[in-house]
Structure 1
Amino acid sequence: MEFQDKSLSRKIIHQLKYSSRENVGKSLADWTIERINFNDYHFDLIISVPLHSKKERERGYNQLHLYANILAKHLKIEHHCKDVIRKFYKKSQTFKTKKGRGDIENNFELNANLIGKHVLIIDDVYTTGNTMSQVAWEILKEPTNKVSVLVMAVDV
């Protein structure tokens, strides 16, 4: 989905993230499963991009967990929601421009010993690629690991 101002996809994901509409994650996961043929991919596990623990407490949940759990069940693999941690708390970047959304370098840390794994990393919105690349590089520090990515929407 394209994530543009005033688009339906933006409204849906904002409901998921900010309006306690976690059930939207289930609908998006079902929609994803219907539209992507996962048969050619052999993932070992799913890792969803984490919220900082403070932000997760404020929100009451991580908007990606239900989505990732449903995909993991469909793929018959595990969702490891604690294998990567976000080290720094930041306020929402929702109203910032793409240019103003620069993440803090080294914002993520691997909290597991992953060796020889093909990891599917999941995030809600791909804007600059900075978040996804930081998470991926943490996993790829182990050269036997492989990474694929899946996002709900792309901010164009």
Structure 2
Amino acid sequence: MLIDQLLDYFDVLLDLIYPRNVKCIVCGEELVGSDIFDICKVCYSKIEFVYGYEDSLDFLSFERIYAVAIYKDVVKKMIYNLKYYDKVYIAKTIAELMKEKLIEYNVEFDVIVAVPLHFTKEKRRGYNQTHLICKHLKRLLNKKYKARVIERIKNTEDMNKLSRIQRFENIEGAFIVKNNEAIKNKRVILVDDVLTTGATANACSKVLIDAGAQSVNLLTFARGYY
């Protein structure tokens, strides 16, 4: 498809502007042959990986949480640089690490769906970082990615200072499914960059299930502290 070809060209352009396998995407140090995921050994050693998976928490509507790492240090810097400093090439490394998680636990699914941003926030930032991650996951896993299946129709207040219960109340009614056929009777992997209380992912999962999804599992790069 033309869109996929354009995305491939975009990736080639990014590789020319930001050559991979040259410098660590976290600290900028020169990489050596044994370094992986474009991260040097020192930075990689600081990543606190999450082993196993987590069954759905109380009153969350997805089945399992597959998280790659704890949200701190190197992982926190990677996400921050991706979201706020336009270092979009980091999305590919995040997708590669997410792919390893899914393969390790042999997760079976039919379609990838991204947690959306409200259009005003996406316009201000210029992109949705989770959408970028999903585009890479699509090609790495050779799976279907249905972009913009979910739309965020409510620009909620900043949730950083809200309690867990307040976050769930704040996000209520914030999402709708725009394309039911894309997920009807499908096993969905819902992708987000960071999971804290799970309020946003839960709201997205609920509308997917209500729209006919067979099941929803959550894949997140970073997990907040328990």
The TM-score bracket by the shorter chain reads 0.7 to 0.9
Structure 1 residues 125-152: Cα deviation after superposition (integer angstroms, max 9, x where no partner): 1011100110001011145521111001
TM-score scaled by length of structure 1: 0.87
Partner of 1:119: 188
Structure 2, unpaired ranges of 5+: 1-68
1:104 corresponds to which of 167, 171, 180:
171
Partner of 1:153: 222
Please tell me whether residue 130 in structure 1 is matched to residue 209 in structure 2.
Answer: no
**Contact in 2 for aligned 1:98/1:127 (Cα 8 Å):** no
Which portions of structure 1, spanning 4 or more consecutive aligned residues, are displaced by more than 3 angstroms? Answer: 90-93
**Distance apart, 1:73 and its partner CA:** 1.5
Partner SS, residue 40 of structure 1: coil
Q: Distance in 1 between matches of 2:173 and 2:138?
A: 27
Partner SS, residue 69 of structure 1: helix
**Distance apart, 1:14 and its partner CA:** 0.6
In structure 2, the CA distance between the partners of 1:144 and 1:86, relative to structure 1 (3 Å rule), is: closer
Q: Distance in 2 between matches of 1:119 and 1:47?
A: 7
Structure 1, unpaired ranges of 5+: none
Partner SS, residue 31 of structure 1: helix
**Distance apart, 1:115 and its partner CA:** 1.6
Q: Which moved more, 1:121-130 or 1:137-146?
A: 137-146
Q: Which moved more, 1:8-17 or 1:25-34?
A: 25-34
**Distance apart, 1:11 and its partner CA:** 1.2
1:53 corresponds to which of 115, 119, 132:
119
Structure 1 residues 81-134: Cα deviation after superposition (integer angstroms, max 9, x where no partner): 2110001124655xx246277133111111111321111000011011100110
**Contact in 2 for aligned 1:88/1:107 (Cα 8 Å):** yes
Question: What is the letter of the counterpart of residue 131 of structure 2?
Answer: H
**Contact in 2 for aligned 1:50/1:81 (Cα 8 Å):** no
2:155 corresponds to which of 65, 79, 89:
89
In structure 2, the CA distance between the partners of 1:48 and 1:87, relative to structure 1 (3 Å rule), is: same
Larger-gyration structure (1/2)? 2
Partner SS, residue 128 of structure 1: coil
**Distance apart, 1:31 and its partner CA:** 2.3
**Distance apart, 1:67 and its partner CA:** 1.2
Please tell me whether residue 24 in structure 1 is matched to residue 24 in structure 2.
Answer: no
**Contact in 2 for aligned 1:98/1:128 (Cα 8 Å):** no
**Distance apart, 1:66 and its partner CA:** 2.1
TM-score scaled by length of structure 2: 0.61
**Contact in 2 for aligned 1:46/1:68 (Cα 8 Å):** yes
> How many aligned residue pairs are there?
152
**Identity over aligned pairs, percent:** 28
Q: Distance in 2 between matches of 1:13 and 1:2?
A: 12
